């Protein structure tokens, strides 16, 4: 996953979203240790204070916890991660439905279309969607 | 306490006013972008802070003191144009810095140079412009300074070298130090800045945090800059 930022929203907000995405995608597995703020900031090429702010936000959401001496860890609460994953999926779905409605597709039309779509095509679109996020 | 403070700071070159009654504070731990078009007074401000120029009126304080030998020990300055002679080898400039600055970390500099596969026997003369800029930045960032003043650090280099330079800055400044980066290449530096100072014709046009600009105006610093400085 590449780190991409929109230019018109605060970077820390986008960092929170993108780190969340990496957690639910398993790139940062439950219970794993996060790199140090500075390292992470350099990897993403953002200001360390901005990264700190984003991690603070994730801590408030109980997705990340900090252990005074050994650093920051992703939560071990897999249920919580699953819940966030589900929420993200619902958001995506709502957006998708909205766009389909705009071009005149209702639920049945969409389901019918999904049935006719060959398996490998769906896969291709999934990876496309991923790299675009 | 502010690491850099300007009070009604004014600098005139004969009749031309380069800075006009500038009031400014830079706090430790912040990365600040000094942004303005060419000729707006960015370099003058940085040279005043590094003690290379003296104010015509008003005051500039570094760590509470008027610039002098004591503040020069705290300030790591990257000039827009190189002051290193091109007959020098990398090991000469390293000795130079180690000699001049008590806070210079030779090991750190050597490690960064080795990572770029720059040999200590390499001569500055034979290096590309981009490589020379990287060498200078490595020297400047290998000091444990309280204030880093970087005048156009990404000016004349390609986008890949820009990324390297910005990563080196955020990866190496001391956490309780402040970094001031002057540039007109705003979209490139925007991500690494905490705060911005817009300077126009020697006057401060705006000071803000980058988050506030994005949050309150819903636009990037680059977009705002283009609006403020529209020709």
pLDDT at A131: 43
Residue A73 and residue A19 share a domain: yes
Q: Each residue of B97-143: pLDDT tens digit? A: 999 999 999 999 999 999 999 999 999 999 988 899 899 999 999 99
CATH number of the domain encompassing residue A61: 1.10.10.10
Give per-residue pLDDT as tens, B153-162. Answer: 998 788 888 8
- The verdict on A83 and A73 lying in the same domain is no
Q: What is the pLDDT of residue A133?
A: 43
In angstroms, the CA A95 to CA A93 distance is 5
Same domain, A17 and A52: yes
Q: Which of B30, B191, B215 sits opposite A46 (nearest CB)?
A: B191
Chain A contact for B191, CB < 8 A?
A: yes
pLDDT confidence bin for A122, thresholds 50/70/90: low
- In chain A, the number of structural domains is 2
pLDDT at res. B124: 93
Judgement on whether residues A28 and A47 belong to the same structural domain of the protein:
yes
pLDDT of residue B148: 97
For residue A104, is it within any domain? Answer: yes
| Residue B222 near residue A7 (C-beta atoms within 8 A) | yes
The CA distance from A9 to the nearest CA of chain B, in Å, is 5
State the pLDDT at residue A72.
Answer: 93
Residue A107 lies in a domain: yes
Tell me how many domains chain B contains.
Answer: 1
- pLDDT surpassing 90 at residue A80: yes
pLDDT attached to residue A39 = 87
At B11 the pLDDT is 97
Select the residue from B28, B191, B225 to test the A interface by mutation, using most A Cβ atoms within 10 A. B191
Query: Cβ–Cβ of B175/A42 closer than 8 Å?
Result: no
- A15, A70: one domain: yes
> Does residue B125 sit at the A interface (CB-CB below 8 Å)?
no
Backbone angles phi, psi at A75, to 5 degrees: -55, 150
- pLDDT, average across residues A103-107: 93
Predicted local distance difference test score (pLDDT) of residue A79: 93
- Out of B171, B194, B214, the one facing A9 most closely (by C-beta) is B214
**To probe the interface with B, which of A7, A38, A56 has the most B CB atoms within 10 Å?**
A7
Domain assignment present for residue A5? The answer is no
* Nearest CB to A42; choose among B170, B211, B215: B170
User: Which residue segment(s) compose the domain that B171 sits in?
Assistant: 4-228
Distance of alpha carbon A46 from its chain centroid, rounded? 18
Tell me: do A84 and A127 sit in the same domain.
Answer: yes
Q: What is the 3-state secondary structure (H, E, C) of B185-230?
A: CHHHHHHHCCEEEEEECCEEEEEEEHHHHHHHHCCCHHHHHHHHCC
In this structure, are A25 and A71 located in the same domain? yes
pLDDT band at A69 (very low <50, low <70, confident <90, very high): confident
- The partner residues of B208 in beta bridges, in order of sequence, read B196
Residue A99 lies in domain: 79-132
Whether A51 is covered by a domain: the verdict is yes
Beta bridge partners of A133: none
Domain contains A124: yes
Tokens of B172: 């190496």
pLDDT at A130 over 50: no
pLDDT single digits (tens) B165-191: 998 999 888 889 999 999 988 988 999
A34 and A54 co-located in one domain? yes
pLDDT in tens, A17-53: 999 999 999 999 999 999 999 889 988 989 999 999 9
> Which CATH number is B175's domain given?
3.40.50.300
Contact residues for B92 (Cβ-Cβ < 8 A; gap 6+): none
pLDDT digits 0-9 by tens, B15-57: 899 999 999 999 999 999 999 988 899 999 999 999 999 999 9
Q: What distance in Å separates the CA atoms of residue B130 and residue B155, rounded to the nearest whole number?
A: 10
CA B152: distance to chain centroid?
Answer: 7
CB contact burial B208-223 (16+ within 10 A = b; e otherwise): bbbbebbeeeebbbeb
Query: Which among B163, B170, B222 has CB closest to A48?
Result: B170
Confidence of residue A121 (pLDDT cuts 50, 70, 90): low
Q: Are A67 and A88 contained in the same domain?
A: no
What pLDDT, on the 0 to 100 scale, is given for residue B210? 94
> CB A49 to CB B214 under 8 A?
no
- Find chain A residues with C-beta within 8 A of B30's C-beta: 49
Q: Which residue of B has its CA nearest to A46?
A: B192
Instruction: Note the ipTM here.
Output: 0.78
Q: Are residues A99 and A118 in the same domain?
A: yes
Residue B65 has which token pair?
Answer: 């003191």
Give domain status of residue A128, yes or no.
yes
> Nearest chain B Cα to A12, which residue?
B211
pLDDT (tens digit per residue) in B92-109: 999 999 999 999 999 999
Categorize the per-residue pLDDT at B150 as very low, low, confident or very high, splitting at 50, 70 and 90.
very high
């Amino acid at each position: 996953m590449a780190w991409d930022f929109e230019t018109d929203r605060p970077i820390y907000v986008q960092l929170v979203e993108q780190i969340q995405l990496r957690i639910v995608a398993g790139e940062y597995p439950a219970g794993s240790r996060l790199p140090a703020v500075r390292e992470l900031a350099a990897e993403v090429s953002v200001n360390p204070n901005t990264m700190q702010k984003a991690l603070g936000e994730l801590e408030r959401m109980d997705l990340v916890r900090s252990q005074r001496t050994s650093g920051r860890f992703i939560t071990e609460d897999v249920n919580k991660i699953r819940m966030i994953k589900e929420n993200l999926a619902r958001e995506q779905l709502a957006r998708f439905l909205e766009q389909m409605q705009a071009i005149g597709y209702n639920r049945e039309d969409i389901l019918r279309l999904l049935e006719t779509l060959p398996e490998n095509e769906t896969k291709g679109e999934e990876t496309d969607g991923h790299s675009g996020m | 306490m502010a690491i850099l403070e300007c009070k009604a700071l004014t600098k005139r070159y004969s009749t031309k006013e380069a800075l006009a009654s500038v009031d400014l504070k830079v706090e430790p731990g912040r990365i600040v972008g000094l942004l303005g078009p060419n000729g707006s007074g960015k370099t003058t401000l940085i040279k005043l802070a590094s003690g290379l120029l003296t104010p015509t009126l008003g005051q500039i304080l570094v760590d509470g003191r008027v610039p002098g030998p004591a503040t020069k020990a705290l300030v790591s300055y990257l000039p827009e144009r190189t002051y290193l002679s091109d007959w020098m080898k990398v090991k000469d400039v390293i000795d130079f810095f180690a000699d001049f600055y008590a806070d210079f970390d030779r090991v750190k500099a050597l490690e960064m140079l080795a990572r770029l596969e720059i040999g200590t026997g390499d001569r500055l003369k034979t290096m590309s412009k981009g490589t020379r800029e990287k060498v200078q930045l490595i020297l400047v960032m290998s000091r444990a300074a309280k204030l880093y003043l970087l005048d156009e650090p990404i000016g004349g280099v390609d986008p890949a070298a820009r990324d390297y330079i910005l990563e080196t800055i955020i990866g190496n400044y001391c956490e309780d130090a402040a970094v001031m980066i002057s540039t007109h290449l705003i979209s490139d530096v925007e991500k690494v800045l905490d705060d911005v100072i817009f300077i126009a014709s020697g006057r401060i046009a705006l000071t803000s945090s980058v988050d506030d600009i994005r949050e309150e105006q819903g636009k990037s610093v680059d977009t705002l800059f283009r609006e403020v400085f529209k020709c």
